[in-house]
Structures are given as structure tokens and as C-alpha cells.
Amino acid sequence: MPNQVSRREFVKTGLAAGVAAAVVRPRTIRPVVISSRNGHEFKNGGPRTAVTEAYQRMAAGEDVLDAILAGVTIVERDPLDDSVGYGGIPNAEGVVQLDSCVMHGPKKRAGGVAALEGVRTPSLVAKAVMEQTDHHLLVGAGAQRFARQMGFTVEDDLNTEHSRELWLEWKRRIDPEHYLDPQKRSSAGARARDAMLAEGLLSPERVYGTIHMSGINASGHVCGATTTSGLSFKIPGRVGDSPILGAGNYVDTDVGACGSTGRGEANLYGLSSFFVVEEMRRGAHPKDAIVEALRRIKARTTERRLLKADGTPNFDVKFYALNAAGEHAAMAMFAGPEPKYAVCDQDGPRVVAMDGLFAGKPS
């Protein structure tokens, strides 16, 4: 018979698979929580940062996803982080629209929301989508209606004084009263955003502002969440990678997790977080898996407007990966200025330097 497998070959294959599994998942797993850098920057007036809160809850026996969400909602609620949740930098019309995705590895379930207005904690609405519906993603007015039905407070405006001031400054610079054609208006908006970056009014970390967090407990349960206010001054309705399964967030509890911050459009094209997890499934260390994802993004970036003079991408993107053995890594497209990510384990919370695929930074 064609393609028949002998008993000896079957046993050999099974033994090899068992060895591989033993390498991927040791008997004792060291619990850890990792996140983008803002996971260890903001406390919303409380005693702990996001990674600290998540790790302590996870170590106390809480469900990993519940622990992670207790962490990221600290950042979502903190008006000092203008890249996530309340006070996130609004879209081109001055409206804060939020995106989020959650994935529960052991339950093999996920939920997401996009272009959600009026709710400070989109990650919790994403969890409600996961638990209360048969869907993965709700968007716009439908997502807001669902949130209201689930008992979430829906506010008229999520802007803070700071986020509104930034939007007004941006709006003045592009002079919208002239009703520029779409291409010119887009160019004018980008120039205004770049000028505000150069003047220090905007932080490079906040232009594509996001927080990703993933964690693994001693039982090997892996979960992850990504939440964002998206690209600063985006076209209303724009959705990036954060709420999309496999792009801004992907979890397979038998393999690991990966999430991303940075230019969402670049990440969406290759579903890079899914790709990183699949590379880890094939045995790659988290850092090596991220390197391959960054190389793919570089190879697939061919439009001149998105390239520096040396041919490298003129944008940044960062990945945060964690495997089923508790090993983790993060890496950026560019090494400067000194990118870092947040970690919390039995040694406590800290920020750790990450490498870049290329030296320097986007223009």
C-alpha cells in the first residue's frame, strides 16, 4: 500500500515527538509575565504596575487571562498613557476609538473589539465577546451596543484635556478647512504628526501606541491580550493589527504566545504573531522566531514611501514572544533609541533591553 508506515517507523516518530515535547515543556515551568514597556510604567494611582499586578494574581492561582486583564486595565484606565484606553490619542476627527484582542490558550477561545467608542477598558469587552458570544470580533457601533448590553459604562468622550490638546494642535497644523484631497490631506497629516514628534509633543512610543501582555503559569497555561487606541490621528474607522487574531495577538498554549506593537499594517500583511508562534512550534527560540518575522516584514516592504534611503523599512515594529517552557524575548525592527520590554517573574518586575534587527531608527 502507498505511504504505509511500518510499526518501527511509527514508534520512532512517536519517540521523537516525545523528546521534542519534553524540550518544549519542562516538568517545572517558571511562571512569567511579559509586556510592552508601558506595562511597567503606569500605575493609575495604585501601588503596582501592570506586569506586577498580573504576576501576583497569576502566582496566587487566578486564571492567567484574568490576571493579565487585571494588569492591562491599569494602563487602559490611566490617563497618563495616551496610547491606550482612556485619554488615548484620538482619530482625525477627535474621537477616541479603541481596539483589543484577548486569547485564552487552555480554553482555545478568543474575543476582540475594534473601533469601540466610549468604554475605557476594551480588553474587558473583548473578553465578554469571547465568553458571551459565538463570535471573535465585534466592531464600531455594534461593539459599543454590545458593551452597553453587558453592563459596561459607555461615556460620551474618552478624551482627556491632554489628548484633546494634542488633537487640536494636529488639527491646526493640517488646516482641514481647505478640504485637501485625500492624498494631500494624508500627507499633510503625516507631516504634522512627524513635526510634533520632532518637537517632543508626541512620543515615538505613542504614535502606534499599544500594550501587549502575555503570561504562563506553573501549570503551563498561556494567555495573551493586546489593547490600543491605535495610530495617532488615524482615519476614523481604521483598524490595525491589535484586535486581529494572528496579527497583534496569538496564543497556542501548547507552544506559546506572541504580540506586537508598532506599525499595524506591516504586521497585518503577514499575520506575524501567528508566524512567530509557528516558528516556535518548529523549535525556534522566541528571539529567533521574532528575527524571522522581522525579516519577512522587511522583505515584504517594497513601497518607496515606506523605505529609508538605505532600503530598510521607515517604521518600527516590536514583537514580544513567550514559549511553553517559559522562555521569552522581545525584539524591534530598530535598535535605537534603546527599546525595552517589561518582565515580571519570581525575581520581581523590571524592564529589559531588546535588540533591533537594524541599527538606528526610522527617519
CB proximity list for 82: less than 8 A, separation 6 or greater? 88, 89, 160, 162, 163, 166, 206, 209, 229
The answer to whether the CB of 269 falls within 8 A of the CB of 144 is no
The answer to whether 210 is a known catalytic residue is yes
49, 73, 121, 210: which one is catalytic? Answer: 210
- How far is the C-alpha of 48 from the C-alpha of 56, rounded, in Å? 10
Q: What is the CA radius of gyration of the chain?
A: 21
Closest by Cα among 181, 168, 1 to 89: 168
- How far is the C-alpha of 360 from the C-alpha of 363, rounded, in Å? 9
The answer to whether the CB of 114 falls within 8 A of the CB of 146 is no
The one-letter code for the residue type at 298 is K
Distances (CA, A) of 334 to 37, 43, 218, 242, 315: 15, 28, 33, 20, 9
- How far is the C-alpha of 317 from the C-alpha of 276, rounded, in Å? 14
The catalytic residue positions are: 210
